[in-house]
Amino acid sequence: MQPLLIDRFDYPLTDERIAKYPLSERDHSKLLVYHNGTIEEDHFYHIGQYIAPHSLLVYNNTRVIQARIVFHKSSGARIEVFCLEPIEPRDYQLSLSGTHGCTWKCMVGNLKKWKQGVLTLPFTISDTTCTLTAERLSTQGNTHHIRFSWDAPDTSFAEILNLLGELPIPPYLNRATEESDKQTYQTVYSRIQGSVAAPTAGLHFTTPLLDSLRADGIQMAEVTLHVGAGTFQPVKVEDANQHVMHTEIIAVPIDTLRTLRQNIGHIVAVGTTSMRTLESLYWLGLRVMNAPDDDIDMHVEQFEPYQTVCNVPTADTLDALIAYLERTGQNTLHAETQIMIRPGYIFRLVDQLITNFHQPRSTLLLLVSAFVGGDWQTIYRYALSHDFRFLSYGDSSILTRAETH
């Protein structure tokens, strides 16, 4: 592929433009409306006016876990362990519901003070003093496989995290997590635990607003993508094609696949995580169609969409996924995606995107540029000059896919 210079996706974002806290009312954020080069400004509670009638709104139901655990050694050294994703068991729900032990890929703060041995953290549950133990098994780059065990019978790892962990708010907020973040940094529809960052486009929705949209005939469907810390990883190379995308785990119920199949041409993604999930389905469907049997590697590679010219209709790929699940007796498609959506990508499922304003020189900005046919600068110049608030707790936008795509 031709080099993709990341310098083309830079803009001046000063600290005062970053929203450090959310608004007191979620749906009162500002809304930038972009359609074929034109921009309007409104408030998020009016978003229903900009979604085509009978559309399908697809949102990510992942829930942020309290993934940061702080241990203290007998010397007083503070060791911070940030759980990224499960290794054994690999499945999020099995790992979080386990009551004896589990292994996670983690980042470790102040690693130089943890040369060897195990870390311990006492805690009390049901008037009984128990201990959480962390043992470092191996190192891979800047991450570590850490085995957690505890002596609290019938206590799950999810309960351990809720008791001892801290919610990991984004590093660019430059502040400590506060009690209020436990509520405001979760979407109102979050329910499947596993993310270490919120799918922030959904933070603007309230339950009454969702009810209003349903009353207006907007359908809704759920997908799950557990957001990893890699979502904050900046592109540090000159050619963005050399950037290595992080792998994310997705789950899509068969009923969602059927609903998507019925609504091709009218699909609205809530956030870039929903976008990556939905667009990955096309390439997963192709894998099923091209596989000689049902032993299929359900993993979308970073540049898979750019390696071949493909004109298979989207409906056919969704039909293939539905048929695969039916004949293998599965109710949910489980897969991994490393997809990089960048300028030149041809969108297969998503027609409108609801999203916040992203960091300069980020893969998320590449995605937005691809969706609006390269016109991201028009959008961001407007937002900067009209006092929009940026990043996770900031304002929102609804973008219509460029006609060229």
Kindly state the percentage of the chain with pLDDT values over 90: 88
**Residue 231, pLDDT above cutoff 80:** no
Are 85 and 55 within one domain?
no
Gap between the Cα atoms of 249 and 94, Å rounded: 14
Are 46 and 90 within one domain?
no
Q: Is residue 304 part of a domain?
A: yes
Are 120 and 213 within one domain?
no
Q: What is the model's pLDDT at position 181?
A: 96
Q: How confident is the model at residue 243 (pLDDT cuts 50, 70, 90)?
A: very high
**Residue 141, pLDDT above cutoff 90:** no
CATH number of the domain enclosing 30: 3.40.1780.10
**Residue 257, pLDDT above cutoff 60:** yes
Gap between the Cα atoms of 178 and 46, Å rounded: 30
Are 137 and 194 within one domain?
no
- 3-state secondary structure labels for all residues of the chain: CCCCEHHHHCCCCCHHHECCCCCCCHHHCEEEEEECCEEEEEEHHHHHHHCCCCCEEEEECEEECCCEEEEECCCCCEEEEEEEEEEECCCHHHHHHCCCEEEEEEEEECHHHCCCCEEEEEEEECCEEEEEEEEEEEEECCEEEEEEEECCCCCCHHHHHHHHCECCCCHHHCCCCCCCHHHHCCCCCCCEEEECCCCHHHHHCCHHHHHHHHHCCCEEEEEEECCCHHHHCCCCCCEHHHCCCCCEEEEEEHHHHHHHHHCCCCEEEEHHHHHHHHHHHHHHHHHHHHCCCCCCCCEECCCHHHCCCCCCCHHHHHHHHHHHHHHHCCCEEEEEECCCCCCCCCCCCCCEEEEECCCCCCHHHHHHHHHCCCCHHHHHHHHHHCCCCECCCCCEEEEECCCCC
pLDDT digits (tens, 9 = 90+) for 326-367: 999 999 999 999 999 999 999 999 999 999 999 999 999 999
Are 253 and 368 within one domain?
yes
Are 98 and 211 within one domain?
no
Q: Is residue 157 part of a domain?
A: yes
Q: Is residue 301 part of a domain?
A: yes
Q: What is the mean pLDDT of the chain?
A: 94
Are 88 and 34 within one domain?
no
pLDDT digits (tens, 9 = 90+) for 380-391: 999 999 999 999
Are 78 and 51 within one domain?
no
Q: Is residue 334 part of a domain?
A: yes
What range defines the domain where residue 295 resides? 6-63+183-400
Are 237 and 375 within one domain?
yes
**Residue 126, pLDDT above cutoff 90:** no
Of 166, 191, 210, which residue is a domain's last? 166
pLDDT digits (tens, 9 = 90+) for 46-65: 999 999 889 999 999 999 99
* Number of domains into which the chain is organized: 2
pLDDT digits (tens, 9 = 90+) for 1-50: 789 999 999 999 999 999 999 999 999 999 999 999 999 999 999 999 99
The pTM (predicted TM-score) of the whole model is 0.94
**Residue 404, pLDDT above cutoff 70:** no
Q: Is residue 171 part of a domain?
A: no
Are 138 and 207 within one domain?
no
Are 159 and 251 within one domain?
no
